[in-house]
Amino acid sequence: MQRQDIDFTSEGLRCSAWFYPANSKGRRPCVVLAHGLAGIKEMRLDAYAEKFAEAGYHALVFDYRHFGGSAGEPRQLLDIAKQHQDWRAAISYARNRPDVDATKIVLWGSSLSGGHVIAIAAQDRNIAAVISQVPHMLGPTSGLAGGLLAGTRLIIHALIDRLGSLIGLPPHYVNAAAEPGRLGLMTAPGAAHGYLKLVPKGQAFDQRVAARFVFAAMRYSPGKYLRHLTMPSLLQVASNDLTTPASAALRSARGTTTVTVKKHNADHFDPYVEPLFSAFIAEQLDFLAQNLNALPQPTVKGNKPTVFITGAAKGIGAETALLFARQGYLVGVTDINHGDLDALRSSLGDGHFYRQLDVTKPDEFASALSDFAAENGGAIDVLINNAGIAFIDDYEALPLMKHLAVTEVNVKGVQIGTYHALPYLRKSEHPTVINMCSLSSEYGVPSEASYSASKFWVKGFTEALNIEWERYGIYVCDVMPNFVATPMMEAAHGKIVESIGVFLQAHDVSAVILKAVKTRSNVHWEVDTWRPRLLRAVSRLLPKTVRRAAIQRLSGY
C-alpha cells in the first residue's frame, strides 16, 4: 500500500506526518519515528519506515511543530518539552487508529530523538519497545563535543537569543551543523557533510535553530531514564561518534536489564546511508521479531496517580490541588487550618484525602503520609512542599518569634516532609518532590531577611537532593515565583512589594508545578512576567555591587 499523508494535532497545532501501512492485514504494531536535531522526515526517515512496513509493521513518521511541514511560529524553535508533547500526540494518534494494535507501539529515535524516546518511554510503561540509534544521552558530553571555545561561543549566542525573546524580538539563529571552527551546534569533523547529505536533492530545508536551545541541550540528559525502562529496548551506538559520544550511552546502559546494546564501527551519520543503513535496520528488525511478538499484554495502573500537598487550603496550594484533581490525580490535601480545608473540600469533593497538619511536627507529618500512602497502594507519586509563611517588614520591627516561625515552617517543614516521604516515593514509578522556593533566593531581600534566607536554604536543599536522589529515580526540583496575589501577600507591605509589583496569580504557579511534574527537566523553575525576567537576566551579567545597589534602591534602603 502507498504512503498516506496525514496530520494530527499537538496542543492545538498541526503536525505533518506520513503513515506507512503494514504489508500485512489486521491490526498491526506501529513504529513511531521522528528525527533528531532540526531534522525533517524527508531526511531518510522514509527509508526506515518502508523497511518496517515491508516487515509487517505500520510506521508513523512526523515532523515536530516549528519544523518541516508542521505548523508553529516562530520557525525553527526547538523546545524539548514541546517535542516531548509532540511525541505523546503522535503516540495517541497511532493508538486510536483502528488498524493499529494499540498494545504494541514502538518508539524509534535517532540522535536527539534517540534521547526523546527514552524519556517518553520511561513515563509511558505501555510502550511495547524502544529503538534508540546514536542517541543524545548526556547534555554536558554532547554540548562540549565541539570543544570548550565552541561551547562558549554558542552560549553567548544563546544568551542573545534568550534576551531578545524576552522583549519580543524574532529568534537569533545558529546552524545545526557547521564545519569545525565555524558556528554551529554540531561541528565535529564530517558532521556538516554527513548531516546535509541526508537532505534529498531539491528539498527545501532550513538547518537553523533558535540559539536559546543551547541552554536546554546542555541540561538535557535523558540517559538517566534508561534504567527505568521496563520494555525491551535496543541501543545502537557508533564507536567513532564525535557528536553524541558512544561513551555516554554505554555508561548509561550499565546495569540495565531490559536494554540490548549494539556497538558499530561508525560515525554519527553513517546509520542513515549505505553501507551501514542495511546493518542498522536489519538489527532493528531482528530486535522487533525477537521481542515484540513475545510481549505480555501491558497493564495500566489501576490506582490514580497521587500527589500530597502541604499548605493546600488556600492560594497556590489550593489552586494546585484543584489543577491536579482535574488531571486525574488523587490529592492529599493538608493544611494547619481546619476551616480552610473544609472550604476547599466543598470545591474539590469527597473523593480525596484531607488532613489537618502542622508541618513542624514530625509525628503528625509521618502519620499523614503513612495514612495517605496506605489508602493508595503504599506509594506516593508527587510530594509538594508548599506550606510556608512570610512576614515583610524591617527585621527589628518584627518580633523574634515571627522570625523563628518562618524558619520552623519554611525550613523544618520541608526537611520533615521530605524525610518521611522517601519510602513511599521509592515505591512510585515516577516519584517527584517539588519544594516551593522564591526568587528572593537569588539575593537577600531587605524587609524579608528571614523569609529570603529560608528560601536560600530550600534552593540549596533542592540542588543537593536533586543529585542525591537521582539514584532512586526521584526527581527533585523547586518552583521560584515572584510576588503572587495570595492571602499571604494581602498582609504584606513595604517598598520592595510596591517597587516590583504583584503581577502573578496562583494559577500561574500551579501551571508551572504541573509542567515540572510532567517534564521532570529543570532543577529550578522560575515563575515571573517578562519584564522582571528581563531585568534579572541583565542584572546577572552585572557586577555584584551593581546588583546590590539595585536591590537597595528597590527596597527603599
Q: What is the pLDDT of residues 301-320, one digit of tens each?
A: 346 899 999 999 999 999 99
Superfamily, domain 306-492+502-529: NAD(P)-binding Rossmann-like Domain (3.40.50.720)
* C-alpha span between 307 and 329 (Å, rounded): 7
* Residue from 20, 329, 354, 451 carrying the catalytic annotation: 451
In the annotation, is 354 catalytic?
Answer: no
What is the Cβ-side half-sphere exposure of residue 516, based on CA atoms within 13 angstroms? 29
> In the numeric block, which cell numbers belong to residue 539?
542584572
Per cent of the chain over pLDDT 90 is 69
3-state secondary structure of 361: coil
Confidence label for 118 from pLDDT (cuts 50, 70 and 90): very high
Per cent of the chain over pLDDT 70 is 92
Q: What is the pLDDT of residues 122-134, one digit of tens each?
A: 877 779 999 999 9
What residue ranges do the domains of the chain occupy? 4-142+225-291, 306-492+502-529
- The pLDDT mean for the chain works out to 90
Q: Does the pLDDT at position 347 exceed 90?
A: no
Q: What is the pLDDT of residue 244?
A: 92
| Per-residue b or e along 429-466, where b marks 16 or more CB atoms closer than 10 Å to that residue's CB | ebbbbbbbbbbbbbeebbbbbbbbbbbbbbbebbeebb
DSSP string, 153-198: HHHHHHHHHHHHHHTTPPPPEEESB--TTSSSSB-STTHHHHHHTT
Q: Which fold has domain 4-142+225-291?
A: Rossmann fold (3.40.50)
Helical axes 80-95 vs 112-123, angle rounded to 10°:
60
* C-alpha span between 480 and 95 (Å, rounded): 37
Strands 4-10 and 13-20: antiparallel
Give yes or no on whether 4-142+225-291 and 306-492+502-529 have one common fold: yes
pTM for the model: 0.57
- Weakest-pLDDT range from 253-267, 322-336, 364-378: 364-378
* Nearest residue to 461 via CA among 479, 476, 451, 450: 476
Rg of the chain over Cα atoms, rounded to whole angstroms, equals 25
Instruction: Check residues 232 and 297 and name the one with the higher pLDDT.
Output: 232
Hey, how many other C-beta atoms are within 10 angstroms of the C-beta on 353?
17
User: Residue 420 in contact with residue 462, Cβ under 8 Å?
Assistant: no
Mean pLDDT of all residues in 198-224: 94
